[in-house]
Amino acid sequence: MHSDVYIGEQLPEVIVPRTERLGDYASVVASLIKMFATVARQDEMTVYRSLVTADRDVIRVRAGESEDGSIGLNHGVDLISGARDMLLAAACSLGKPKAVYRAGANRDAADLLERICLGQTDQGSFVVTLVTPVIPVRMSRLFSLPDDQDSLIERRLTLRLMEALAAARHATERTAAGDEGAFAEVPESGVSANLCEALVRIIKPFARLDINVLWARTRPVTTPRPVVRFGRADAPLLSQAARLLRERAPRPDVRLIGYVRRLTRGEAEEDGTIRLVTNIDGKGQSVTALLDRQDYEQVVQAHSDRVPVLLTGDLERMGQRWRLLNPHLEEVLRDDGPDF
């Protein structure tokens, strides 16, 4: 048998060929598309696009209504590049979620985006479509977790994107209602300064922006994923959120020179905590750091000799305080240093 026959009540009989090696394959498929379009009350091109992307997730970024489905050239360029940056931020968050990413340094995320395609826009409004690589049919014995959260990277990307967008939407609403700490809780959901900045870029020109996913029919998603909607009024809140997330994110590979003002170590402990008086952004600041035994003992001697030290690590702000993560003593500066 070369075809499958489908019959539905009050629906036309559908004969679907199993192979492309039939002589009239093209005309049969054309007839099927015409039939599906009639039943679904859609144009044939829309049905065709749905069929050719049935094994892929399609991310749709829909700008506000326009009479002829067009937008300004510069706005269109920003919409496409902003959509790309939004997806790149989601790809970066598939690893360890952070408040800020150096996206260009994330090779895995960049490689994943190389496999994303830009699809056709839709008529009636301006819609940027981003198409993932093929998502194969589920093999239940291999993929038992719902919605493939720990399996296919392509599906995990679209799931994470929609999770992050929903979290950003909720945090924006909470911020507008007066909750100043709403965005402090969302990096674990994939919301980063990078994502907020990308959203600001694509939201600003339009009164409304809708983002949703058409999930691959070969691997359906069981959890409802509604359209996430943003408006122009959200842009200032997201811009502020991006700034706060960047301020609170650790600054990697920082070098600090300063004097030690406090030393703390328990009797039974080898590691010790210090307070370093140093200069950050042109202002005198106190920074705490937990040093291992060898570095701590050298810092104790530097404190006794009243000489500055050079520490490296990742600088993190916690409210009005600073701390140095993964600290390392690079050098004890025996020459006279700046007076803090």
Q: Stretch 310-326: mean pLDDT, rounded?
A: 89
CA distance 158 to 164: 10
Instruction: Kindly tell me if the per-residue pLDDT of 8 is higher than 90.
Output: no
What secondary structure does DSSP assign to 175-217, as a single string? HHTT-TTGGGG-GGGT--HHHHHHHHHHHTT-SEEEEEEE--T
Same domain, 310 and 240: no
Per-residue pLDDT band at 192 (split at 50, 70, 90): very high
CATH number at residue 300: 2.40.50
For residues 80 and 189, membership in a common domain is answered with yes
Question: Region 282-292: what's the mean pLDDT?
Answer: 94
Same domain? 233 vs 298: no
**pLDDT on residue 142:** 47
The pLDDT assigned to 141 comes to 45
Does 318 score more than 70 pLDDT? yes
Using 50, 70 and 90 to split pLDDT, how confident is the model at 201?
A: very high
Domain shared by 233 and 109, yes or no: yes
Judgement on whether residues 220 and 117 belong to the same structural domain of the protein = yes
Lowest-pLDDT range of 40-54, 218-232, 274-288, 315-329:
40-54
Q: Is residue 261 part of a domain?
A: yes
The answer to whether residue 47 scores a pLDDT higher than 50 is yes
Residue 58's nearest CA partner among 133, 152, 156, 123 is 133
Helical ranges in the chain per DSSP H: 25-40, 44-52, 73-92, 107-114, 153-176, 193-203, 235-248, 293-305
Percent of the chain with pLDDT over 90: 50
The answer as to whether 313 is a domain residue is: yes
Query: Could you tell me if 116 and 130 lie in one domain?
Result: yes
Spatial distance between the Cα atoms of 38 and 47, rounded to a whole number of angstroms:
10
Domain boundary (187, 221, 248) is at 248
- Unique residue bearing structure tokens 């598939």: 94
Q: Which of 54-58, 170-174, 233-237, 290-294 has the lowest mean pLDDT?
A: 54-58
288 and 257 within one domain? yes
Residues 170 and 299 in one domain: no
Output the pTM of the full model. Answer: 0.72
Domain boundary pick from 248, 276, 311: 248
What would the pLDDT profile of 66-106 be if each residue is shown by its tens digit?
667 788 899 989 999 999 999 999 999 998 888 899 877 78
Give the domain-ending residue among 187, 214, 248: 248
Q: Evaluate whether residue 49 is within a structural domain.
A: no
Distance of CA 102 to the CA centre of its chain: 12
Number of domains the chain is built from: 3
Task: Identify the residue with better confidence: 66 or 207.
Answer: 207
pLDDT interval class at 144 (50, 70, 90): very low
Within its chain, how far is the Cα of 309 from the centroid?
38
For residues 176-184, average pLDDT: 90
- Per-residue pLDDT of 83-94, as tens digits, reads 999 999 999 999
Three-class secondary structure assignment of 275-293: EEEEEECCEEEEEEEEECH
Residue 134, CA distances (Å) to 84, 153, 326 in order:
19, 11, 41
Say yes or no: 179 and 326 in one domain.
no
- Whether 47 maps to a domain, the answer reads no
Using 50, 70 and 90 to split pLDDT, how confident is the model at 125? Answer: confident
Say yes or no: 137 and 97 in one domain. Answer: yes
Residue 94 covered by a domain: yes
Range of the domain at 29: 3-41
Residue 167 belongs to some domain of the structure: yes
Residues 129 and 272 in one domain: no
Whether 325 is covered by a domain: the verdict is: yes
User: Considering the chain, what is the average pLDDT of its residues?
Assistant: 85
DSSP-assigned letter for residue 304: H
At residue 239, the pLDDT reads: 96
pLDDT at 53: 74
Q: For residue 287, what pLDDT is reported?
A: 96
Measured N-to-C along each axis, helices 153-176 and 235-248 cross at an angle, to the nearest 10 degrees, of: 110
Structure tokens that stand for 229 in this block: 């909607």
pLDDT band at 126 (very low <50, low <70, confident <90, very high): confident
Regarding predicted confidence, which is higher, 135 or 190? 190
Higher confidence at residue 155 or residue 25? 155
Is 11 a residue whose pLDDT tops 80?
A: no
What is the reported pLDDT for 23? 64
Residue 271 belongs to some domain of the structure:
yes
Position 146 scores a pLDDT of 53
My answer on whether 85 and 226 are in the same domain is: yes
Q: 3-class DSSP state for residue 161?
A: helix
The C-alpha atoms of residue 198 and residue 214 are separated, in whole angstroms, by 21
